[in-house]
Amino acid sequence: MRTQVGIVGAGPAGLMLSHLLHLAGIESVIIDARSREYCEHRVRAGLIEQWVVDLLLETGVGARMKKEALFHDGIYFSYSDGLHHIDFRKSVARGVAVYGQQEIVKDLIAHRLSDRGTILFEATAVKLEGIESGKPKIHFEHGGKADVIECDFIAGCDGFHGISRPALPERVARHYDRVYPFGWLGILAEAKPVADELIYAYHERGFALFSMRSESIVRYYLQCAPDENLALWPDGKIWAELKTRLGGEAGERLVSGKILEKGVTAMRSFVCEPMQHGQLFLAGDSAHIVPPTGAKGMNLALADVCVLARAFADFYRKRRRERLEHYSATCLPRIWKAQRFSWWMTQMLHRFNFEQDFDMRRQLAEIDYVVNSAAARTSLAENYTGLPMESVWRRGIAWHRRLRLLRTLWPRMGRRRH
C-alpha cells in the first residue's frame, strides 16, 4: 500500500490531519487498532476552545457541532459554600463549547469516508521502519494478515501508549514528566445539569467538577487516589460526596440519576522533545499529556495537526522543508504554556494533602483573588478559551479558503502521484 502520509491513530488528531491534508490535495491512510464503534463512542474530552469551533466550521466538519454543542461564556468556581461566575465573554470577548470528543471523531470519520479517504480500523501497528530514510514504512496487521504502508512521512497520532513515540531513538528524545498524587473518579450519568456552565469546586475533602454533555447527560468528577478501587464507590456514595464537595448553592441543586459509566483517570503532565525525527512527526497525546483540569488535551492535539498540515502542504506544493524542520519549534511554546496553565489550575484546586495547613489557606486566597481581580479573571479567560493561533490558525484559514477555490478550478491541484 502506497500513500503520501501514513497516519497512526484515528483519534481527533489523526482524523483532522487527514481531513486537512485532503483539503490540500494530499493523500493519506489512517490505521487504528480499535474498531470504528470503539473510536466513535469512547468518552474523552468535551470542551473545545473558540478557535477549534472556528476550525470545524471553516473546514466543513462543524455543521452538527453548530447545532448540538453547548456554547458557554464562562465557568463557575465553588468554594467556601459560595458559587462565583467568571465571565469569559466580558473579559476576552470569546467563550468555549462543550462538544464531546467522540462527536468530533464521528463527524471526521463520516467526512473522511464520504471523501473516499482510507481508514483501516482494527489494524494494529506493529513497527515503524526507515524513519531516518526517505522511505519510511508502517508495518501492521489487519484482518489476520501482515501488511505495510509505504509513505513519504509518518504522523504518529496514536496516543501516550502507542508505538510512535518509542520509535524515536533514545539519543534524540527527551521526556519531561510529572505524576500527580491523585486521580479523578469520573461518572457519566442521566441527570438534570446542576448549572448552565461548568463548576470547578474546591473543598477540604478534595476537588470536584461538574460538566455536561447535553441537557440530560452530565459528567462529574471527584478527586481520588490514582489507584482508587471503584468497588468502594457505590452510586449512592458518589452522589452524596458530590453534593458535599459542590457545596452551598450548587450542592443544593444536585439531582442524582442513573450512572451510565464510571472510571478512574490518573493525572500526569508529560512532554516529549523533540516531536519529530527524520520522517516521523508526533502529534497529540503521543507527544504530550496535560492534566484535564485546564481542558487542553484535545485542543493541543488539533493545534499540532494544523501546524503539521500546513508544513506538509508547503512541502508538496513548493518542495520546501522549512516548516517541517521547525514543526517542534512551532508547537512547543504553545504546549508549554498549556502545561503551565493546566498545572496552575490543578495545584490551585486540588488537595495535595488533607491537613488544615498553610497550603489550604493559600489555595483559598488564590481562588478568591482570581474571582475578585479583573486582571486575574482576564488571564484565566485568555488561557481557558485558547491562546491566539495567529501564525497557525488565522493564516491557516486563509490558506484553506484559497485551496478550496483553487481545487474548484483544478480539482487535482497539489496531488502528487507515486
Q: Which of 79, 202, 221, 384 is catalytic?
A: 384
Strand stretches in 191-244, DSSP E:
199-201, 208-212, 217-224
d(Cα 238, Cα 332) in Å, to the nearest integer? Answer: 38
Region 366-378 average pLDDT: 97
DSSP letter assigned to residue 294: G
Phi, psi at 333, each rounded to 5°: -60, -40
How far from the centroid of its chain's Cα atoms is residue 271's Cα? 14
Q: Which of 193, 243, 292, 327 is catalytic?
A: 292
d(Cα 199, Cα 107) in Å, to the nearest integer? Answer: 28
Q: Which of 22, 203, 243, 296 is catalytic?
A: 296
- Widest CA span of the chain, in angstroms? 69
This prediction's pTM: 0.90
Active site residue 22: no
Residue among 338, 350, 342, 310 at smallest CA distance from 326 = 310
pLDDT > 70 fraction of the chain, expressed in percent and rounded:
93
Active site residue 384: yes
Number of residues that make up the chain: 418
Residue ranges and CATH numbers for the domains of the chain are 5-71+96-177+268-353+387-409 (3.50.50.60)
- C-beta separation of 185 from 230 below 8 A: yes
Active site residue 262: no
Active site residue 161: no
d(Cα 300, Cα 200) in Å, to the nearest integer? Answer: 21
pLDDT tens-place string over residues 304-315: 999 999 999 999
Q: What is the pLDDT of residue 407?
A: 47
d(Cα 7, Cα 218) in Å, to the nearest integer? Answer: 33
Active site residue 200: yes
Model confidence at 393, pLDDT cuts 50, 70, 90, reads very low
Q: Which of 200, 202, 220, 327 is catalytic?
A: 200
Q: Which of 72, 203, 243, 288 is catalytic?
A: 72
Q: Which 3 state secondary structure label does DSSP give 230?
A: helix
Cell of residue 116, nine digits: 473516499
Q: What is the pLDDT of residue 390?
A: 55
Model confidence at 355, pLDDT cuts 50, 70, 90, reads confident
